[in-house]
Chain A
């Protein structure tokens, strides 16, 4: 099971990096979202995907899944959510001000 999820997150990383290297700003943002999905899946997998009950204390349950990676992922999700929100607004304003969403044309003039 771990192998499958790792292959999946590998594919997510590859797609993310392909998108990050594109010229269109929106594609780059999609790339960052895929990248964070890949990273979160890796955290989940690294805590070992054992079969067990959800980590809620109950009588008669002895096998729980690892609760720590889930807390880490939750933290990481809200952080990347916040940054994605900021990034989308920033991209919107950037395209408005600079009249382009092409990263080639957003290059700084050399030392101006």
Chain B
């Protein structure tokens, strides 16, 4: 049973290798992709159930005991994120054949898709800092290939910037690991955590903490380091944007959660207070970006940044309610961002443009699409029956408990502006005269709606069934506040 831990990495990897051989046969590739993604979904669901029932799975790869080998650790946080990743991958696998990828499907789209999933899963369950770097590179390499797939002029232009900024931050990651190795003499996260508490070189450790935060903040697109994100996320086709928007930045957030709840908890008044400011500024600047544009894809891309701000705010406040809210928000935001990117992909496809000024009265022709957008706007803004509400409520509770009033007010105002930025698409694009758009031909949305409904249904379940999911996020928060549990589960004495 302990070998379950390796399946989320190995299954997508095998799927990708098998799909390489069926590259030119599109029908078989599509079918295999659907089957493999459903298998991944089933396996990760079973892992999540197993971890909740029986506690953390730690797998010593190759049988080498804890600090010497690479350890895979599937705790409740990692299991929840794995399940969410696979939910997104199922939706994208069923959306991709209809999304008008065209001949891009023949250019190894499906193998890269699974390499990306494999890298993301690996980053979530590894217990080794250098191994985390390697899995970062696995997922980034797949994302470089996906972002440039098809080879439009604009894709080349944006992907080269995306590649350069990620290469730079990866090299800083390596340097930060080297510094940390120089101070504590290990790369195993549990042993680093144990030694960081003992070493009395707190100054240099805080410096390394900020260096690592800089690296992960670049990957997660936090306030001063988000400039690369919006334009590069809208150039590939919608299904790829959905994968990126749902998964890539969240790996950065997860790394921040892991590193700053496990390893660097010795100078909370310095590091975590800094996160609160960064979170507030990310919210403000991200939502200003979302309000500034009339491109519907860009509105969604900018909306990633305030969402990351909410998650980092929870880590900055660092009490049980706020961390629980952060985890809840992280999981639901992965799903709703995927749904929104897929949704605006469909809207841009049926309207023939992604410029909001050229759209009008779409609700008369595409009522389902309109109401789905309406619901997802409510989910994103955190209107009570939906899942965004519970995460934000817990975050605010945590903020008021620690008397961080300013960040709470910023978070509330940001919610309002997020709602405005999405509902703007609904009002301007969907309301209006029936015949307002000249030359609009009705296009079939066959197969495109079902994956979005699937994702939104899950966010509704997460919201309505909060009494089942809240205890889990609460237990994750308690677990994160006590790093000794993690250390003991890895370094068995």
Binding site for B on A (CB under 8 A): 20, 25, 28, 32, 35-36, 38-40, 42-43, 45-48, 68-69, 72, 75-76, 79-80, 82-83, 86-87, 90-91, 93-94, 97-98, 106, 108, 111-112
Contact = CB atoms under 8 A, between A and B. Distances in A.
B160 A94 contact: yes
B160 A97 contact: no
Interface in B162-211: 163-164, 167-168, 170-172, 174-175, 177-179, 181-182, 187
A28 B164 contact: yes
Contact of A39 (B130, B174, B187): B174
Given A39-B171, A43-B178, A111 B293 contact: yes
Contacts of A97: 151, 153, 156
A91 B153 CA distance: 12
Contact of B160 (A40, A75, A91): A91
A42 B160 contact: no
B105 to A, nearest CB: 20
B178 A42 contact: yes
A65 to B, nearest CB: 14
Per CB-CB distance, the 10 closest pairs between chain A and chain B, nearest first, are A46-B182, A94-B156, A43-B178, A46-B178, A39-B174, A39-B171, A42-B178, A111-B293, A97-B153, A35-B171
B58 to A, nearest CB: 21
B171 A111 contact: no
A95 B174 CA distance: 30
Contacts of A42: 174-175, 178-179
B150 to A, nearest CB: 12
Contact of A90 (B156, B179, B231): B156
B65 interface: no
Contacts of B151: 93, 97
Instruction: Select the residue from B160, B163, B292, B295 with max chain A CB neighbours within 10 A.
Output: B160
B56 interface: no
B158 interface: yes
Nearest to B68: A68
A34 to B, nearest CB: 10
Contacts of A106: 157, 160-161
Given A87-B167, A93-B151, A43 B174 contact: yes
A68 B294 CA distance: 52
A75 B130 contact: yes
Contacts of B342: none
B305 to A, nearest CB: 16
Contacts of A72: 130, 174, 177-178, 181, 187
A35 to B, nearest CB: 5
Given A76-B174, A79-B137, A47 B181 contact: yes
27 contacts: A20-B168, A32-B167, A35-B168, A39-B171, A39-B172, A39-B175, A42-B174, A42-B178, A46-B179, A46-B182, A68-B187, A72-B174, A76-B174, A79-B134, A79-B170, A82-B141, A83-B144, A83-B163, A83-B167, A87-B163, A91-B160, A93-B156, A94-B156, A94-B157, A97-B153, A97-B156, A98-B156
A43 to B, nearest CB: 4
Contacts of B294: 111
Q: DSSP class of A's interface residues: helix, strand, loop or mixed?
A: helix
A80 B133 CA distance: 12
Contacts of B134: 75, 79
B159 interface: yes
A32 B174 CA distance: 14
A72 B129 CA distance: 11
B154 interface: yes
A88 to B, nearest CB: 11
A48 B294 CA distance: 55
A93 B150 CA distance: 12
B82 interface: no
B178 A36 contact: no
B139 to A, nearest CB: 12
A46 B186 CA distance: 11
A107 to B, nearest CB: 8
Interface in B196-247: 231
Nearest to B137: A79
B148 interface: yes
A86 B144 contact: yes
A108 B163 contact: no
A32 B293 contact: no
Nearest to A37: B171
A43 B148 CA distance: 32
Contacts of A45: 178, 182
B298 interface: yes
B298 A111 contact: yes
B397 to A, nearest CB: 37
Given A94-B157, A111-B295, 19 more contacts: A32-B167, A36-B171, A39-B172, A39-B178, A43-B177, A43-B181, A46-B179, A46-B181, A47-B181, A72-B174, A76-B133, A76-B174, A83-B163, A83-B170, A87-B163, A90-B148, A97-B151, A108-B158, A111-B294
Contacts of B163: 83, 86-87, 90
Interface string B459-493: 00000000000000000000000000000000000
